[in-house]
Amino acid sequence: MLRSLLVRYLRPYWQPLLGVFVFQLAQSIASLFLPTLNADIIDEGVATGDTGYILRVGALMLLITLAQILCAIVAVYFGAKVAMKVGRDLRGDVFSRVGEFSEQEVTRFGAPSLITRSTNDVQQVQMLVLTTCTLLVSAPILSIGGVIMAIRQDVQLSWLIAVSVPILLIAVGFIVVKMVPLFRKMQTRIDTVNRVLREQLTGIRVVRAFVREDVEIARFATANQDVTDVALSSGRLMALMFPIVMLVLNVSSVAVIWFGAFRIEDGSMQVGTLIAFLSYLMQILMAVMMATFMAVMIPRAAVSADRIGDVLATESSVVPPAEPVNATVGQGELELLDVGFAYPGAEQPVLQNVSFIARHGQTTAIIGSTGSGKTTLINLLPRLFDATSGSVLVDGFNVRELNPDLLWGQIGLVPQKPYLFSGTVRSNLLYGKPDATEEELWQALTTAQARDFVTEMDGGLDAMISQGGTNVSGGQRQRLAIARALVKRPALYIFDDSFSALDLATDARLRLALKQSATGATMIVVAQRVSSIIDADQILVLEDGRIVGRGTHEQLLDTNTTYQEIVSSQLTAEETA
Amino acid sequence: MSETHADDKPAPRPQRGGGPFGGMSLPAEKSLNFTASGKRLLGKLSPERLWLFIVLVLAVISVSFAVLGPRLLGEGTNLIFSGVVSKSLPSGSSQAEVIAGLRAAGNTAQADMLSGMTLTPGFGIDFAMLSSVLFWALALYVLSSVFSWMQAYVLNGVVQRTVYRLREEIEAKINRLPLSYFDKKPRGELLSRVTNDVDNISQSLQQSLSQVVTSLLTVIGVIVMMLLLSPLLALIALVTVPLTLVITAFIAKRSQKLFVAQWTNTGELNGQIEETFTGHALVKVFGRQKEVDARFTAKNNELYEASFGAQFISGMIMPAMTFIGNLVYVAIAVVGGLRVASGAMQLGDVQAFIQYSRQFTQPLAQLGSMANLLQSGVASAERVFDLLDAAEQSEDPDHADAPAEVRGRLVFENVSFRYTEDKPLIEQLSLVAEPGQTIAIVGPTGAGKTTLVNLMMRFYEIHSGRILLDGVDVATMTRHDLRSRMGMVLQDTWLFGGTIRDNIAYGRPDATEQDILAAATATYVDRFVHSLPDGYDTVLDDQGSNVSAGEMQLLTIARAFLAQPSVLILDEATSSVDTRTEVLVQKAMSALRAERTSFVIAHRLSTIRDADLILVMESGRIVEQGSHVELLAANGAYQALYAAQFAAPIADEV
């Protein structure tokens, strides 16, 4: 996965990559050249006391190092550029891929894991590319150059290279292979740390209310300990790396001297050659060592690449149509034909044979007990899920064939959890219609019965909203979420239990205002309170994923036992009358 | 705003594309703290002093052996060289004779060279001697590697334990921060500090500490060897030390800001990602994908710019160090050459010196690249410290009071509270809740009902007045003690990722299976749990997507039920539960309420009507109180609320 991912993401940057390669090559050649000059200074200059020669060669050497560092800097420039661009692109692609996901995929990965994948995991891959560009590229150049130079010095001794390099590679390879599973664990455990902490931040009030700080600290400590344990074991393996490399390196040089001595003794080799051979062998092994420094990063990056690749390779279960219908649907009439929904692998379907028509200008209410499938039904309309059987039609078009942007443009959703984004009241209201005028905003707030409290808020429309809307009360949050949908002026409104946190008076006023302002739109209202839906044109009674009753309040009150139970559970006889 | 932040206004946060508060324009003071943060980060290692000392000792041993190695190898080379020379000399003659012979022939240079060697003319390389020298070299190298491994092994533990403590410290801190802190910070930003920043610190420390130690020691070792050989030449090499520092400081100064920007942007980006992924469905249905993408892209680009700059600028340190190393090399060659020419120094010494100066360059370059890593780590550390330094909620009193007998009598005496200084929210509120009473709080949204609950739980500190629980001022109790006497079921259902059983037992970890089942049955949780394939072992995911919103609320009720508090607060506890289930739950709840004081915020008449006392709130004040019948008769605010519920829909129908 790592390789294919890198190939894919490096390809657009082949030009700067070529730059990295060229300048690293120049840089490496320069550094291969330096030992010869070093030797010259000593043999020709220092030994003979020729200061002029030392200065000349010294100046040349400085020039070459200057060129070398300039090349190195340019290579770092391109390298940093490529690496950070790859990181940027990966983050962008993971982010937009998740954007395409349906709720099903988001749930499958879990938001915390998706977050780690789009930052921490990308970071690992990015670091690998960076080190590759700044260090690794020159390693093969240096080692190949070293091998050539060494062979030129003495072919007979070259077998030492053929022995020491593979030993080094095998030792390092062994460690790296052992590290891969550890790093896989590491990233999953970082996920867990992330998840535990995110839960604590979300549920901080509950944690404090139940005085469970100690339990949470202990729960975090477990996650922390787990991540530390893996880090410790991978660190222990890593601790082996450098000493092993150094050992191979040093033993090889001892071997060169020992075996070289025999060749010198029988007169087939010069002492100078031995020293040169030694320094080239060092050069080769140094290059290999540099590569091992990188090898430490590869396993972790590989695991991260897998995790990123997983996200990128996951197709959304809600696929936008290949040839979307771009019809302008303006009425928002909704029809469900024999719709069923089941979670993959689940025994019981959540919805079965649901059929109904919601006409525009009318209110269709859905009532039913907890877990009867109301929210699932609602989620099928904007294609947050796709129905597993049957079809959902808006204005006669199957939602699967409609251009998603057009579909969503028609829908004003107020979810059960009225999530607000961090920002201001204004930025939240503009969410569905960025070009709405000030007047439109206030109008929506008026309808949503939110005008008064927004006016009183510090800054009015520009009052701060914290993430999730935690700094306003539940009822205020619901009304802002309703206003947000109203600003959009959609043809199809979906209120998923959106009045539950409102007090009675506000609820009543809101429904009245809604009726007056959103004329002609199709309204789908999920509610618990009968009073909220008593005036609906059509009420659907949902039970265990099936529609067990439909009609107006009066009709259902007469004929439907489930509905009667619901009504009698909340209104006393005199109030129903 | 709350406990310690009474006069704190919410800090403005960048909106849409970063705005004027983008990461690049960080306050300059940030980088001034850099050295301090670095020191503080090192300070975090102090509990590991003993181990660090061991690391140092091991490193000294390992490096000394490694530095001695080349000397032995050099001796080996000398042996070979002497052997070759000896072989070329006529056998039978002594070394002195050969040298004298050379001098007589006018070959002074060669004679000088030979006089420095131990020669046995006519014989070749002394392999016995060579093998023993090489054996020692081998032994030194093996030992050096073993010590170097031990050093890395111990250091790994030091770093990981330090990082563990750092995470632990953050976690403890989070539990001490006032709630208002979390109102202001995006979750993803905080999360990033714990995962991305701590991870970065861990990697920086792990990679740099061991390298810094060995590199520094190598530099020192080499300098010592140089001083032994020639103090004058050593001085030349030493001149580079300040030069190195100046260059590193020069580059570091520029890259620091960028590293800080890199990690700030990472945090902000994480914040955006977290928020977008949390509100995933809304982003879609509101057609905001493009805008969200654009905002993300802008921040992502900012991150790219910062990290590219940081890596590029700091990446220059290493080539610069290499250059300095080469500069030293040439300088030594020149001066050494001059000294040899003037006869002040032996050629062999200069050669050894030059070799040492080569050894000097590599650790120097390594130190440079470590400076780079460390900077990035310190930038992350700074962000972690920033969190650790945030103002905490006020300390619990040293000698905390506790009600002698808990009966659940709750009294508000002239309580005033405001979230922001200039906006009073609750003014001079007084109320008395007798033990066992059920008190319903009604009123328009925003009247301060939830705030009242927040004050009872002491999530926020009151501005003036007193709240008494069984005669004891809650401010003199510990928060833990107070809260353990209170149970609450919130409007926002929150369950943690775990089994249903564990979630119910959350408030009472020592509950038996029977207790749990009893609570579940009483709150009608048992009914739906039975229909789940795994029953009580069903694992709830973090989105809670495998149970419905109503079922989640039932679970939170079961959780409070099991906790058996003396004061029960129900804030819209059953808003998502269908009314038929609610009727059943109400029955269970009334049993639960019987022995305890309970506060109920609800909009359903059925819940309110049975209350012993109804408080009608408006704009932070209690405008009416009494029973359902009394209040209806009073024909005031309550009557208006009541009328709105049942009159309005009927009016519509007409």
Annotate B118-185 with DSSP letters as a single string.
---TT----HHHHHHHHHHHHHHHHHHHHHHHHHHHHHHHHHHHHHHHHHHHHHHHHTTS-HHHHHHS
What's the pLDDT tens digit per position in B298-326?
Answer: 999 999 999 999 989 888 888 888 788 77
Task: Indicate the angle between helix axes A159-202 and A271-295, nearest 10 degrees.
Answer: 20
Q: Is B559 on the interface with A (CB under 8 A)?
A: yes
Helix (H, G, I), strand (E, B) or coil at A364: strand
Residue B95's pLDDT band, with cuts at 50, 70 and 90, is confident
Angstroms from B9 CA to nearest CA on chain A? 10
Q: Is the model's pLDDT at B369 over the cut of 80? A: no
Q: Is the model's pLDDT at B652 over the cut of 50? A: no
Q: Is A427 on the interface with B (CB under 8 A)?
A: yes
| Residues 345-384 of chain B whose Cβ lies under 8 A from any Cβ of chain A | 347, 350-351, 354, 358
Q: Is B653 close to A250, i.e. CB distance below 8 A?
A: no
Beta bridge pairs of residue A357: A335
Task: Indicate the angle between helix axes A51-100 and B289-315, nearest 10 degrees.
Answer: 170
What is the average pLDDT score of chain A? 84
What's the pLDDT tens digit per position in A266-289?
Answer: 877 777 777 778 777 877 877 777
**Residues of A in Cβ contact (< 8 Å) with B289:** 99
Closest residue in B to A189 (Cα) is B195
**Residues of A in Cβ contact (< 8 Å) with B149:** 239-240, 242-243
**Angstrom distances, CA of residue B72 to CA of B68, B76, B119, B474:** 7, 6, 18, 77
Three-state SS string across B323-360, please?
HHHHHHHHHHHHHHHHHHHCCCCCHHHHHHHHHHHHHH
**Residues of A in Cβ contact (< 8 Å) with B137:** 250, 254
**Strand boundaries in B407-508, DSSP class E:** 410-417, 426-433, 438-442, 464-469, 472-473, 486-489
Q: How many CB pairs under 8 A join A and B?
A: 535
Contact at 8 Å (CB) between B612 and B439?
A: yes
Q: At which residue do the structure tokens 């900012």 appear?
A: B302
Q: Is the model's pLDDT at A342 over the cut of 50? A: yes
What's the pLDDT tens digit per position in B575-631?
Answer: 667 767 777 677 767 766 667 888 888 766 666 777 888 888 887 788 888 888 888
**B contact test, residue of A467, A502, A517 with most B CBs within 10 A:** A467
Contact at 8 Å (CB) between B522 and B561?
A: yes
Q: Is the model's pLDDT at B213 over the cut of 50? A: yes
How does strand B410-417 pair with strand B426-433? antiparallel
**Angstrom distances, CA of residue A109 to CA of A191, A386, B280, B542:** 10, 18, 13, 11
Query: Other CB atoms closer than 10 Å to residue B234's CB: what's the count?
Result: 21
A495: exposed, middle or buried (C-beta count within 10 Å: 0-12, 13-18, 19+)?
A: buried
Residue B24's pLDDT band, with cuts at 50, 70 and 90, is very low
Contact at 8 Å (CB) between A146 and A139?
A: no
**B contact test, residue of A9, A115, A488 with most B CBs within 10 A:** A115
What's the pLDDT tens digit per position in B175-186?
Answer: 888 887 887 777
Q: What is the number of residues in chain A?
A: 577
Task: Indicate the angle between helix axes A51-100 and A14-40, nearest 10 degrees.
Answer: 160
How does strand A464-465 pair with strand A334-341? unpaired
Query: Other CB atoms closer than 10 Å to residue B27's CB: what's the count?
Result: 7
Which among B79, B542, B648 is the nearest to A195, CB-wise? B542
DSSP secondary structure letter of residue B193 = I
The pLDDT > 70 percentage for chain B reads 85
Those residues with Cβ within 8 angstroms of residue A201's Cβ, 6 or more apart along the chain or in another chain? B174, B182, B187, B190, B191
Higher pLDDT, B592 or A469: A469
Please give the average per-residue pLDDT across A202-221, as a whole number. Answer: 83
DSSP secondary structure letter of residue B539 = B
**A contact test, residue of B78, B81, B311, B357 with most A CBs within 10 A:** B311
**B contact test, residue of A34, A50, A56, A119 with most B CBs within 10 A:** A119
Flag the least confident range among A350-359, B93-102, B300-309: B93-102
Q: Is the model's pLDDT at B38 over the cut of 80? A: yes
Q: Is the model's pLDDT at A81 over the cut of 90? A: yes
Higher pLDDT, A417 or A236: A236
Q: Is the model's pLDDT at B469 over the cut of 50? A: yes
Residue B15's pLDDT band, with cuts at 50, 70 and 90, is very low
Q: Which two tokens stand for residue A17?
A: 């990559």
Q: Is the model's pLDDT at B17 over the cut of 50? A: no
What's the pLDDT tens digit per position in A373-393?
Answer: 888 888 888 888 888 889 998
Q: Is the model's pLDDT at B238 over the cut of 70? A: yes
Beta bridge pairs of residue B488: B569
Q: What is the ipTM of this complex?
A: 0.81
What's the pLDDT tens digit per position in B545-569?
Answer: 567 777 887 888 888 888 878 888 8
Q: Is B283 on the interface with A (CB under 8 A)?
A: yes
